[in-house]
Structure 1
Amino acid sequence: MVLPSCVRGGRLSSRAADVAMTHLVTAVVVVSTLVQMASGREPPVRAAISWALIGIGCGALYFRRRRPVAVAVITLLACGIYYPVSVTDGPALAAFALALYTLAAEGHFTVSVALAAVTLLTVGFGEVVMNSGHRRIDDVSVAMLAGWLISLVAIGRAQRTRLAYLHEAEQRALAAEREQEARARQSATEERLRIARELHDILGHSISLINVQSSATLHRLSKKPEYPVALAAAEEALKAVKATSKEALRELRGTLGVLRQADEAAPTAPTSGLDRLTELVERARSTGIDVRVRTEGGSRPLPPPVDLAAYRIVQESLTNVTRHARARSALVTIAYGDTDIRLRIDDDGQGADEGAALRPHALTGACSRPGLSGSGIRGMAERAKAFGGELTAGNTADGFRVEARLPLKPSLS
């Protein structure tokens, strides 16, 4: 069921609340005035003026939220005329009291204090000057009126402060919620990119090797060699495809393990790292490229995340060499430093188009080396950047070079 707008959310709307409060104050003033008039005699003219002033003062309360200053002034003037004119002192001042409270609650603190002071001065002036020799209000009543007016202004001010605090708290809660949602979206995006990078490196490398090996074997078989030679070539190719696909499945299972639920068994296969570099190089050599490895600084265990990132960078670089470079040889250099590890992969194949080198400050750019306009080099650069390192790629005098630096104590971003 849809609630009416005046009570939606379990609370009256501001307009409905104003109407209800206006009716309540009007009812109190009217009933009290009728009771007092019944016990005394009110001249008809004065009675008509009194009721008109009561109607003006109480009716103005309907606009107390939209025009708080005007309503407070109108009710004060109505009361200032009503009490000297009326024979019976009814509770018409209740309308001004509500208007004064609303004025302070709406933020017009200075005006509310000024009107309260004017009220006290007017009452004092009337008692001293207008009613000399006959006081209608004693000192206790004046003190009570002063305390009453001060209390109304103070309560209105406190209500204003409370509402401002609640509004600020609500805005902070909304901002925190939006920030949390943004962080959740960012985390989900980063996780998707990380998984996409892993799958690209695993499947891209393995499928590229399989494609190169199959193409080379088909090319040899297209020359129609003798049966023993053809059989040996096919057997060699199938063994290489089997080994490459087996390694791809192993790494794929390891990567998909991060998507498993907590109650499922996680894979126990070791994470890829530079200790598996020999296998990676052998698979690249099976495509006919002479791949050599050179180590500088003495190899040592690396932090697992850095070890995996280094392995993936070498893997993707060799994938690009086998797929696009048309190279005869490649050299992988691994330099272990005190605070970082540096990787360099050189090949003697065709380089990138002129001006297509990937610079450290352009990590999201794509290299236009044939076949490398996708996510290969960009993914390597993102890996290096994620660990606080950097990666560059570009032509050399003899071919193409990829260089990367990874801190041993990465500041993950």
Structure 2
Amino acid sequence: MRRRDRLYAWVRRHPLVPDAAMACALLITVVVLSASAYDPGWAHAALGAVMCAALVFRRVRPVASFAVLAGCGLVQWATGLPLTPAGVLLLIGLYSVSGYGPRWASRAGLAVGFLGVALAATRDYPIAEWGVQTFVASVVSLSAVVIGSWAMGDVRRVRQAYVVELVERAHQAERERDQRAVIAAAEERARIAREMHDVVAHNLSVIVVQADGGRYAAAQDPQAAADALKTIGETGRGALAEMRRLLGVLRTTDDEDGDEQATVRNPQPGLGSLPELVTSVRQAGLPVEFDVAGPPRPLPPGPSLALYRVIQEALTNALKHAGPAARAQVRLAFDTDRLTARVTDDGRGAAAPSDGLGQGLVGMRERMAMYGGTVTAGPASGGGWRVEVAMPYGERE
């Protein structure tokens, strides 16, 4: 901030100091000279001193300050004291009440100014003595001075109101920006939590199933145990690759020119990765049939990833809860206006044990809701469990 701006800011915070300095200068240059040039001098000096004291509070107490100034002017008129250069103090008070006082006080100050014009013209320029032309000229000239002082204060009021509105808008924009940042951070945390849940839950489920199977088969079929360990290793490496892709979304890097920041987004899985997903679940011990109906059509990356994660979660749940002899089926149907997916199994269904802590179904619905899709899950009519997904083509605005 420049030195001048700091000075202005200090003056706005301490208005009494500059107003007191101005009042002292007016007391010396206007009131003292008026008192020495007009009789009786003591009366002009006393009124001038009171008026200068009132000007000290012209910004912090504009209504009271103008009331004191108007009262001094009325005393001057009532006692027959002539107009002096100290009358400029009344104009300063009118400007102050117009610029710093409430709206009603500004209008009342203008009315008081017109009243003062009428009283001064009637006393100092009576028609009988000066004539109509002089009287009218004095009224017009004094009214112009009053209107000018009031108008300058009103302009100051409008400008200050405009500045306050701009400052409030700037503060509101900052608050909205902060709120948007908080909301965006919360959404990003939720998205990352869903991705972490899908990646970790699926791969750990495969690893646990293979580890249990390998432990039981080690004594009788060493080759089966070796195959289980191989699957565990491949699944673990796949899980690490998924985690690296997920963490890569969080990284930012400068472009070559250093003007923008670009988010490094490694390729995410989608519908094209479903065969590998089905293969990994089969290797984990759950027989899965994969069927596609209708001519396939490409999807945007967001909906494709969301649908992949929903099918992954459904197969992970079947792997954990359907039972050792269960079978599963994944069916995609590319209809004219939407894509539907169904994941079913013939396992335990509603009788499957659950710890009640899973967030899988909630995550499915959240993912599909982002793109206008729906998720229905529950026991199948012939036994087992089913998950049905319907999603329109394209991303929702």
Per the normalisation by structure 2, the TM-score is 0.84
Structure 1 residue 278: Cα displacement: 2.1
Which secondary structure state, in structure 2, belongs to the residue aligned with residue 133 of structure 1?
helix
Structure 1 residue 352: Cα displacement: 4.5
Residues 109-139 of structure 1: per-residue CA shift (max 9 Å, x gap) = 321221121111111221355x95379x876
Q: Work out the CA distance in 1 between the residues paired with 2:84 and 2:110.
A: 24
Structure 1 residues 266 and 145 mapped into 2: Cα distance closer, same or farther (>3 Å)?
Answer: closer
Q: Work out the CA distance in 1 between the residues paired with 2:20 and 2:284.
A: 91
Task: Tell me which residue corresponds to 2:230.
Answer: 239
Per the normalisation by structure 1, the TM-score is 0.81
Q: Is the 8 A contact 2:19 2:57 kept in 1?
A: no
Matched, 1:172 2:169: yes
Task: Tell me which residue corresponds to 2:22.
Answer: 24
Matched, 1:385 2:369: yes
Matched, 1:329 2:327: yes
Structure 1 gap segments, 5+ residues each: 354-367
Q: Work out the CA distance in 2 between the residues paired with 1:147 and 1:271.
A: 76
Superposed CA RMSD: 3.1
Q: Work out the CA distance in 2 between the residues paired with 1:65 and 1:238.
A: 84
Structure 1 residues 266 and 234 mapped into 2: Cα distance closer, same or farther (>3 Å)?
Answer: farther
Which secondary structure state, in structure 1, belongs to the residue aligned with residue 252 of structure 2?
coil
Matched, 1:93 2:87: yes
The amino acid that maps onto 1:400 is: W
Residues 374-404 of structure 1: per-residue CA shift (max 9 Å, x gap) = 3222222111111121212222331222121
Task: Tell me which residue corresponds to 1:365.
Answer: none
Counting aligned pairs with the same residue, the percent is 32
Q: Is the 8 A contact 2:248 2:265 kept in 1?
A: no
Q: Work out the CA distance in 2 between the residues paired with 1:266 and 1:152.
A: 60
Structure 2 gap segments, 5+ residues each: 256-261
Matched, 1:10 2:9: yes
Task: Tell me which residue corresponds to 2:58.
Answer: 64
Q: Is the 8 A contact 1:253 1:267 kept in 2?
A: no
Structure 1 residues 51 and 275 mapped into 2: Cα distance closer, same or farther (>3 Å)?
Answer: same
Task: Tell me which residue corresponds to 2:385.
Answer: 400
Task: Tell me which residue corresponds to 1:147.
Answer: 144
Structure 1 residue 212: Cα displacement: 0.9
The amino acid that maps onto 2:73 is: C
The amino acid that maps onto 1:345 is: V
Structure 1 residue 296: Cα displacement: 2.1
Q: Is the 8 A contact 1:351 1:395 kept in 2?
A: yes
Q: Work out the CA distance in 2 between the residues paired with 1:187 and 1:167.
A: 30
Task: Tell me which residue corresponds to 2:294.
Answer: 297
Q: Work out the CA distance in 2 between the residues paired with 1:37 and 1:198.
A: 87
Structure 1 residues 169 and 250 mapped into 2: Cα distance closer, same or farther (>3 Å)?
Answer: same
Q: Work out the CA distance in 2 between the residues paired with 1:10 and 1:237.
A: 75
Residues 262-310 of structure 1: per-residue CA shift (max 9 Å, x gap) = 3699999753222222221122122332211222223333322222222
Structure 1 residue 350: Cα displacement: 3.0
How many corresponding residue pairs?
380
Structure 1 residue 96: Cα displacement: 1.6
Q: How does 1:172-321 map to 2 (within 5 A)?
A: 172-221=169-218, 224-225=219-220, 229=221, 231-262=222-253, 271-321=268-318
Structure 2 residue aligned with 1:374, among 358, 361, 364? 358
Which secondary structure state, in structure 1, belongs to the residue aligned with residue 376 of structure 2?
strand
